[in-house]
Amino acid sequence: MPRSGSTVVTLRVPADLDRRIQSEARRRRRTKSALVREALLNAFGDAPPVDDPARDARRQSLLVSTRASEREALEFVEAVADQRGWK
């Protein structure tokens, strides 16, 4: 999110709520700030438009691209792919 026109808001939350926020942010692969910002926008009826699917797909691709399991899967597909006749 661009920093222009934004302000910092500090608030205290119970430890169990912080754990829930952290867990949900990790599950969605977002920052805690982004998650809380989205929740506040939803709470006040000012939710942002749904993200561009292509942008979200690219974000997810970048997240998994460094995983060894992803690399292994790609190596497997390349090894077993029938490439005859492909240019």
Does pLDDT of 2 surpass 60?
no
Q: What pLDDT does 50 receive? A: 60
CA distance readout (Å), 86 to 17, 82, 83? 54, 9, 6
Query: Is residue 18 pLDDT above 90, yes or no?
Result: yes
pTM of the complete model: 0.50
Assess whether pLDDT exceeds 80 at residue 3: no
Residue 13 is classified by DSSP as -
pLDDT for 69 beyond 90: no
Nearest Cα to 33, choosing from 55, 57, 11, 15?
Answer: 11
For position 45, what pLDDT does the model report?
77
